[in-house]
Amino acid sequence: MTRLFVTIVVTFALISGTALAQDTLAERGPFGLGGMFGMTGPNARYLAGINAKYFLDETNAFDGAILKRFDGNKDDWYIWADYLYHFRSLITLEQGELPVYLGIGGRLKLQENSDNKFGVRFPVGLAYEFAGAPVDVFLEVVPIWDVAASYDFDLEGGIGVRFYF
C-alpha cells in the first residue's frame, strides 16, 4: 500500500509539473482524486488509501475516502464522506491558496475481528492549492463521535495529495 501511495504522489508531481496555469475552479476542474495516509487513535492504527473531492463551487465541496489499515494483521477498512466549507480568505499567500476547511460527515469502520462502527466526523484542515497546477496537498484533523452499539470518541488525522480534472 505504501508503494501505491508513493506511485500516486510521484505521478501527480510529474503531471502537475507540465500543467498549464489553473487559477480557478473552472480552469482546474471540480473533481480531485489522490492518495492519503492517515492515523487513528487512541490506539495508533495507520491507514492508507484513495481520497476524492468534488467542489460544488469555490467554498462548498464533498470529499470521501476508502482507506485500509496496514499495520498488523487485521483487515480493517475505513470509509467516509464529508461536506466541507472552505474559508479562502483567512490565510493569504503570494503563490497558490491555503484555504482552511471545516465540515461534517460520516465514517464507517469495518473491522475484521470486532464490531463495525459508525461515527460522525468533524473534519478541520488546510489544503494548499498550487498556483499553475491542478494539485492540492492537504492536512486534516478529525474528531469522531462513534454512535453505533456504544458511544465513543475517536480522533483521526491525515495527509494527502489530489490531482484535479
Domain ranges of the chain: 2-164
Q: Is the pLDDT of residue 122 over 80?
A: yes
Condensed to tens digits (0 to 9), the pLDDT of residues 16-53 reads 443 433 456 767 889 999 999 999 877 788 999 999 99
**Which of 12 and 30 is assigned the larger pLDDT?**
30
Q: What is the pTM of this model?
A: 0.83
CA distance 162 to 12: 8
Q: What's the CATH number for 2-164?
A: 2.40.160.20
- 139-144's contacts with Cβ under 8 Å and 24+ in sequence apart are 140/101, 144/107, 144/119, 144/120
| Share above pLDDT 90 across residues of the chain, in percent, rounded to a whole number | 63
CA distance 39 to 48: 9
Residue 3's pLDDT band, with cuts at 50, 70 and 90, is low
CA distance 19 to 83: 28
By the 8 A CB rule, do 31 and 5 touch? no
